[in-house]
């Protein structure tokens, strides 16, 4: 049994955060574990309140898992502040965990800040050098690289800058691309660029897409797949999750975490 850990915030609406991560892990048949960084009061309309955990509370949760159960791969989501980022980084070093997927969660769909501004430098200093993969969308990549991203060449330059900060593989997601027909994700491993394209789905029900995408990569790395294989699987998983998404609530509805499995069952 392969085991995956999510270190992230709780989404009371169930579409993102640790809820999305654990649903994804379950669908991909890895055992999911969690270390909670914050509790959010959240729904499809946005984030109404954020209640962060202390850095000590986050550390103790990770210790409980590291000392007993072990981790084959982990992902980070909402980390909120520099103290939590430092605490998480210290535990990753202590337990020598290598399959680390960093989803640099900064802004919620409704616009609420999920990472303090002063924590961005801590993310770059402490966590990026420990990460196997980072999965920013274009606005997040712009913040992390201090540059504007409008063209494919801009994406490549941003990927190079992030790689130079120590992360081993950079994937810049194309959901915010200006192209209205396709979404193109760019993977850079320090030597080669690879693109993953999918037809853009015209829907507002995209809550939790970033969490689900990075959780899929984490689950597949836990199983022993390569980064390229994990990203390829994640692109397919999130595509059908969006295509078969739910209209729940009055705002941005969630994606469908069981869509990939259901489609495979229909093919048999």
Decide: 182 and 198 in contact? Cβ < 8 Å. yes
Q: Which of 15, 77, 175, 208 does the annotation list as catalytic? A: 208
Catalytic residue among 40, 76, 145, 209: 209
Catalytic residue among 6, 37, 40, 206: 206
Cα distance between residue 147 and residue 243, in whole Å: 32
SS3 196: strand
- Dihedral Cα 13, 142, 165, 229, nearest 10 deg: 60
**Active-site annotation holder among 173, 212, 245, 255:** 173
For residues 163 and 236, the answer to whether their CB atoms sit within 8 Å is no
Query: Can 66 be counted among the known catalytic residues?
Result: no
Q: Is 255 a catalytic residue?
A: no
Instruction: Establish whether 91 is a catalytic residue.
Output: no
Residue appearing with tokens 């989803």: 103
Does 24 qualify as catalytic in the annotation?
no
**Does the annotation mark 206 as catalytic?**
yes
Q: Do 50 and 23 touch, CB atoms closer than 8 A?
A: no
For 222, counting Cβ atoms within 10 Å of its Cβ (0-12 exposed, 13-18 middle, 19+ buried), the class is: buried
Between vectors from CA 187 to CA 7 and to CA 252, what angle results, nearest 5°?
Answer: 55
* 99 phi and psi angles, rounded to 5 deg: -80, 75
Task: Give the DSSP letter string of 52-105.
Answer: EPPHHHHHHHHHHHHHHT--SEEEE---BSHHHHHHHHHHHHHHT---EEE---
Exactly one of 77, 211, 218, 253 is catalytic; name it: 211
210 in catalytic set: yes
Question: Known catalytic residues?
Answer: 173, 206, 208-211
């Amino acid at each position: 049994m392969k085991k995956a850990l999510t270190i992230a915030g709780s989404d009371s609406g169930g579409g993102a955060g640790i809820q999305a991560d654990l649903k994804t892990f379950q669908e991909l048949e890895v055992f999911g574990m969690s270390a909670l960084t914050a509790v959010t009061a959240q729904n499809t309309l946005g984030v109404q309140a954020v209640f962060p955990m202390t850095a000590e509370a986050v550390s103790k949760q990770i210790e409980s898992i590291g000392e007993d159960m072990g981790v084959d791969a982990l992902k980070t989501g909402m980390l909120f502040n520099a103290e939590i980022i430092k605490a998480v980084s210290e535990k990753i070093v202590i337990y020598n965990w290598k399959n680390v997927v960093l989803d640099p969660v900064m802004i919620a769909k409704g616009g609420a800040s999920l990472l303090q501004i002063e924590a961005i430098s801590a993310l770059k200093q402490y966590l990026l050098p420990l990460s196997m993969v980072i999965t920013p969308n274009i606005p997040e990549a712009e913040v992390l690289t201090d540059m504007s991203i409008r063209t494919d060449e801009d994406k490549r330059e941003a990927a190079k800058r992030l790689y130079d900060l120590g992360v081993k593989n950079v994937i810049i997601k194309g959901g915010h691309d200006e192209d209205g027909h396709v979404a193109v994700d760019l993977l850079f491993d320090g030597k080669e660029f690879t693109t993953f394209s999918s037809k853009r789905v015209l829907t507002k029900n995209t809550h939790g897409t970033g969490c689900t995408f990075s959780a899929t990569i984490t689950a597949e790395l836990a199983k022993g797949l390569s980064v390229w294989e994990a990203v390829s699987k994640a692109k397919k998983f999130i595509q059908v999750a969006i295509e078969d998404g739910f209209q729940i609530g009055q705002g941005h509805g969630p994606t469908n975490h069981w869509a990939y499995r259901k489609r495979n069952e229909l093919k048999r």
